[in-house]
């Protein structure tokens, strides 16, 4: 094995892109442009779509066999399960880094290189994830209702995790493939949508404490993030303040599950 090959393997990254009925929304041109340049590999996971998503994804992968692959779940299991299945494949592939990225590209694909730069420059860091902080000079565009609900949820998550995390739910995260992260996706998550908090809780249990975990996690303030896809079409509904009862129930359930797990671990 040549030195160049070893260097390439030590920097290889696989990014999971979960998809469900995204055929009409996928930013195909952006994915193709990304794949036409050197960079991370993309692992698309179709979560049992009932539209033409699979055909669209096959079209993206065509001609980029070394950089893009497709996993078809067959049956819809929710975003958490699609991410979990994809991450297991990515982590078992021998890549140095594995992560997941929302298919609507609310976080631009160019940020993948920025995340990887942090991991390469700071070997003590195991996890880099996007943080949607609206600061001067940054273009973070979120619907007001989503922002305020997100702040309430993030505050509750921080209390549960005992870790000062600003944004647990941004769909852009990359992990270093090391023993501490290898098993984070082995077991199914209890929630379809707020599984990110469960990932943090599992990582904390592996390292033994919230402070130990916090020292190995890096929140990356995004330069650009915007609400796209379904939230654009539901902007009027959101602005009227109609509650998202289903998601809230899932969040509450996730909190209870994680709090119970942490309490049990602290008394073990």
Local confidence pLDDT in tens for the 268 residues of the chain: 443 443 456 689 999 999 999 999 999 999 999 999 999 999 999 999 999 999 999 999 998 988 999 999 989 999 999 999 999 999 999 999 999 999 999 999 999 999 999 999 999 999 999 999 888 888 888 777 776 667 777 777 888 888 999 898 899 999 999 999 989 999 999 877 788 999 999 999 999 999 999 999 999 999 999 887 554 444 443 344 334 433 533 443 444 454 455 555 555 5
- CATH of the structural domain 3-266, one choice from 3.90.550.10, 3.30.2420.10, 3.30.300.30, 2.130.10.10: 3.90.550.10
Both tokens assigned to 183: 């098993």
Question: If DSSP codes are grouped into helix, strand and coil, which group holds residue 191?
Answer: coil
Domain ranges (residues) in the chain: 3-266
Q: The pTM is what?
A: 0.83
Nearest to 185 by CA among 204, 206, 202, 210: 202
What is the model's pLDDT at position 246? 35
In angstroms, the CA 68 to CA 88 distance is: 16
Q: Give 95: exposed, middle or buried? Use CB within 10 Å, 0-12, 13-18, 19+.
A: buried
Q: Which residues is 225 bridged to in the sheet?
A: 140
Long-range contacts of 162-165 (CB under 8 A, 24+ apart): 162/210, 162/262, 163/200, 163/204, 163/210, 163/211, 163/213, 163/214, 164/214, 165/200, 165/217, 165/219
Concatenated DSSP letters for 39-74?
A: --EEEEEE-S-SSSHHHHHHHHHTT-TTTEEEEE-S
Both tokens assigned to 219: 């929140």
Q: Give 53: exposed, middle or buried? Use CB within 10 Å, 0-12, 13-18, 19+.
A: buried
């Amino acid at each position: 094995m040549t030195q160049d090959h070893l260097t390439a393997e030590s920097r290889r990254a696989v990014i999971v892109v979960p998809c469900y009925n995204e055929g009409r929304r996928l930013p195909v041109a952006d994915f193709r442009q990304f794949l036409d340049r050197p960079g991370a590999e993309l692992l698309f996971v179709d979560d049992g779509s009932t539209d033409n998503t699979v055909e669209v994804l096959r079209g993206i992968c065509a001609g980029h066999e070394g950089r893009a692959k497709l996993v078809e779940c067959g049956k819809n299991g929710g975003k958490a399960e699609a991410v979990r299945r994809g991450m297991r494949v990515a982590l078992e592939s021998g890549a140095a880094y594995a992560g997941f990225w929302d298919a609507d590209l609310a976080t631009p694909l160019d940020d993948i290189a920025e995340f990887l730069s942090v991991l390469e420059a700071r070997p003590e860091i195991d996890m880099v994830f996007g943080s949607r902080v609206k600061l001067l000079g940054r273009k973070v565009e979120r619907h007001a209702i989503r922002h305020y609900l997100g702040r309430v949820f993030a505050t509750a998550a921080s209390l549960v995790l005992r870790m000062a995390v600003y944004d647990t739910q941004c769909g852009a995260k990359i992990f270093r493939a090391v023993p501490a992260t290898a098993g984070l996706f082995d077991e199914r998550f209890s929630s379809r949508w707020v599984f990110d908090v469960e990932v943090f809780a599992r990582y904390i249990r592996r390292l033994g404490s919230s402070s130990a975990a916090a020292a190995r996690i890096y929140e990356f303030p995004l330069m650009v993030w915007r609400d796209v896809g379904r939230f654009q079409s539901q902007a009027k509904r959101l602005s009227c303040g109609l509650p998202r009862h289903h998601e809230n129930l899932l969040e509450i359930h996730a909190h209870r599950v994680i709090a119970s797990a942490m309490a049990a671990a602290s008394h073990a």
